[in-house]
Amino acid sequence: MQTASLLYYFLLICWCIDFAQNQTNEIPRRQRRRMRYRGSRKGSSAYHRPNRQPQIKTSTTVAVVPSIPLINIDDGITEVFDSFIGLGGHESSYSVLPGKKGHCTANGMIMYDKAVWSPKPCITCLCSKGKVLCDETTCLSLTCHKTVIPEGECCPVCSDIEPSDPSDPMLLKSLHTQAEMDELLRREKEELEGREKEIHKKDEENRKRKEKKSQEEKKIHDYEAHQKVEEEISRREEEKRRAYEEEELQIEKEEEEKRKENKHPEQERKQQKSEEEEGEEEEDEHILRGDVFRMPPRFPIPVPPAEIPPLPTGCSISDTTVSCINARLTQIPPITDPELTSLELEGNTITSIPDEAFNGIPNLERLDLSKNNITSPGIGPQAFKILKKLKRLYMDGNALVHIPPELPSALEELKINENHLHAIDEDSLQELKNLVTLELEGNKLSEANVSPLAFRPLKSLSYLRLGRNKFRTVPQGLPTSIEELYLENNQIEEISEICFNHTRNINIIVLKHNKLEENRIAPLAWINQENLESIDLSYNKLYHVPSYLPKSLLHLVLIGNQIERIPGYVFGHMKPGLEYLYLSFNKLNNDGIDPVSFYGAYRSLRELFLDHNELKFVPFGITEMKALSFLRLNNNKIRTVPPERICRAIEVEDSRLEHLHLENNFINTRELSPYAFSCIRSYSSVVLKPQKIK
């Protein structure tokens, strides 16, 4: 009984040991199956971390790492042990667990027979029959310039390869973390959205382009349709006009036949009236029929403008000015430009101006026709009528005998110098109420052929030039607005009392190169003028300075006469006083100048010219001229300049004399007093050389 109990107890212990061993072996078996399954999915050792590699553009050159597959011992795969021997495995210093057949210990852990583990990266160990065999992974050599060992890996990889497309399948194999997969998906999503936006933008641009093109095509179509309608209207109007012309010709023929048959005029009138009424009824009926292309004859169809001819050779255009100066033109060029404001035709051989010459340039403001061969008969009666805005007309140097007719009322400046004008009628300057400047020099005008009423229409005239004509007296009927009058180079012998009765605004009178004598100037001719400041009587026949000069006179020119004397007090009545007196080239001597000759001008006279006379010494009264700044005494017969004749020693600082001319006299400069010119501000302003030889 006791023996049976011991046997039963022994069997129970064996069964428990066997059961415990089976349970112990079951745990690594399940773990190995699980590890094998995971290895088959990821292709990696259970102890290896995922192989993280950078994104690459092309296939990456990576060292091939021979990995040790996970082995399920129960499945009987034994060829893996041969691989350890073939790879140069070596025995480890791991101890063998005593008393346990085939078991090994590693770092205090029990490893069963045929167990595989990796104690360190790139090292794989195997427990075989109580012995530990370890193998180190061998890395292949790389050809790239730069390598790097990724974290958790044992072999280097090339790091000098450019990043590639993240969608590359080879790259996807190297991505093992969820974060990297999410990042890749996010980038792909962003790229996809960007492409969709770009495609949508291109579609929108194409749609707008198509809409714009369709609108342009519609406009072109509408324009072509409108053109066709206008052409049809023009054609029908042309047909209607021709029909009317034929009808009128037919009526004229019938009337001619009726006249030949001596029909009664009343019958002809009635018949013509009935025919006109019938024609109107037909016309109304034609309109009421609804012909949309027909317009009543009272609304003319605009004719398209003719092609603009090019400018002639020698002409040029700049802004709003066409210049054809010296271009050898024989007629006015046909120019069509409503914006043109200035036309220059100076120096050609134009002979005529037809009525339609300026129809294409109605807005001209300035027209220069100087130095041509234009004649009065060659100017059409309506030639200038269209130029409503013309302000300046220059016709100097032509062959006109009359002032052109129908000049524009807007004209402000008219020049017809150097022509053959021999008459100005009372209607010649009609309607020129805005004319300010009129120049008629170098013609054949005289008081006999200029009407006393010729200048009456010129309400705004202020500047009148009548020089180089044949006037013997000052023209009659000068406008009240006149300010400047030029009558040089005529044959004027007399100035009557009525010449300037109505010219209260006159400021300048030029009468040089005439035949005036002082006794032919009426005492009341201009003495009461209040605005007359300048008179030029040069190169006349005056023997002494005229008396009864205007009270307001400031500027008196008497050069080139035969003046021998300056009467005393001749300037005494002037207010504020004479400022400029020019007596050069006369016959003045010291006997002709009294001590009071310059009375009234002592405090006002600024310039005194006494050169080219017969003075033997400096005239008295020079030192009294407080405002004098310019004195000419050259080309006389002066022999000496006594002290205080020009400068007073006590008034040196108050003198205004700046220029003194004494050359071409008989002065011995060595004998001059050092105080003779002490009042002159700059000694270099005193001209003493040359002097004449005795």
Note whether 22 and 152 are same-domain residues: yes
Phi, psi of 209 (to 5 degrees): -60, -40
pLDDT-derived band at 650, boundaries 50, 70, 90: low
Share of the chain above pLDDT 70, in %: 72
Greater model confidence, 196 or 180: 196
pLDDT-derived band at 116, boundaries 50, 70, 90: confident
Show the 3-state SS of 18-75. Answer: HHHHHHHHHHHHHHHHHHHHHHHHHCCCCCCCCCCCCCCCCCCCECCCCCCCCCCHHH
pLDDT at 444 over 60: yes
Note whether 122 and 54 are same-domain residues: yes
pLDDT at 487 over 60: yes
Q: What is the largest CA-CA distance in the chain?
A: 199
Phi, psi of 110 (to 5 degrees): -85, 125
Note whether 41 and 112 are same-domain residues: yes
Q: Is residue 113 in some structural domain?
A: yes
Note whether 168 and 217 are same-domain residues: no
Among 172, 195, 230, where does a domain finish?
Answer: 172
Which pLDDT belongs to residue 36? 39
Note whether 218 and 104 are same-domain residues: no
Q: Is residue 200 in some structural domain?
A: no
Greater model confidence, 270 or 492: 492
Note whether 79 and 220 are same-domain residues: no
Q: Give the chain's mean pLDDT.
A: 78
Q: Is residue 74 in some structural domain?
A: yes
Which pLDDT belongs to residue 645? 86
pLDDT at 371 over 90: yes
pLDDT-derived band at 165, boundaries 50, 70, 90: very low
Note whether 104 and 243 are same-domain residues: no
How many other CB atoms sit within 10 Å of the CB of residue 418? 20
Greater model confidence, 324 or 275: 324
Which pLDDT belongs to residue 593? 93
Q: Tokens at residue 132, please?
A: 């530990």
**How distant is the alpha carbon of residue 580 from its chain centre?**
49
Which pLDDT belongs to residue 285? 44
Residue 670 CB contacts under 8 Å (≥ 6 apart), including other chains: none
Which pLDDT belongs to residue 652? 57
Residue range of the domain that includes 216: 212-254
Cα–Cα distance, 426 to 423 (Å, whole number) = 10
Q: Residue 540 in contact with residue 563, Cβ under 8 Å? A: no
- pTM metric for this prediction: 0.57
pLDDT-derived band at 306, boundaries 50, 70, 90: very low
Q: Residue 139 in contact with residue 154, Cβ under 8 Å? A: yes
pLDDT-derived band at 6, boundaries 50, 70, 90: low
pLDDT at 184 over 80: no
Q: Is residue 470 in some structural domain?
A: no
Note whether 20 and 168 are same-domain residues: yes
Cα–Cα distance, 72 to 273 (Å, whole number) = 133
Where residue 467 falls (left for φ over 0; alpha for ψ -120 to 50; beta otherwise) is beta
Q: Is residue 528 in some structural domain?
A: no
pLDDT at 651 over 80: no
Among 222, 254, 286, where does a domain finish?
Answer: 254
Note whether 20 and 167 are same-domain residues: yes
Q: What is the mean pLDDT of residues 381-388?
A: 92
Sheet holding 116-120, edge to edge: 90-91, 131-136, 123-128, 116-120
Q: What is the mean pLDDT of residues 385-390?
A: 93
Note whether 88 and 223 are same-domain residues: no
Q: What is the mean pLDDT of residues 557-564?
A: 97
Q: Is residue 61 in some structural domain?
A: yes
Comparing 265-274, 357-366, 584-593, the range with the smallest average pLDDT is 265-274
pLDDT-derived band at 240, boundaries 50, 70, 90: confident
Give the closest residue to 655 by CA, choosing from 674, 677, 686, 632: 677
Position 454: which residue type?
Answer: A
pLDDT-derived band at 77, boundaries 50, 70, 90: very low
User: Number of structural domains, the chain?
Assistant: 2
Q: Residue 454 in contact with residue 477, Cβ under 8 Å? A: yes
Which pLDDT belongs to residue 205? 83
pLDDT-derived band at 333, boundaries 50, 70, 90: very high
- Alpha carbon separation from 682 to 152, 629, 659, 677, 686 (Å, rounded): 107, 12, 8, 9, 8
pLDDT tens digit string along 243-288?
877 877 888 777 777 766 654 555 555 555 555 555 555 554 444 3
Q: What is the mean pLDDT of residues 230-237?
A: 77
Among 198, 227, 254, where does a domain finish?
Answer: 254
Q: Is residue 218 in some structural domain?
A: yes
Q: Is residue 242 in some structural domain?
A: yes
Comparing 42-56, 487-501, 630-644, 659-673, the range with the smallest average pLDDT is 42-56
Q: What is the mean pLDDT of residues 503-527?
A: 94
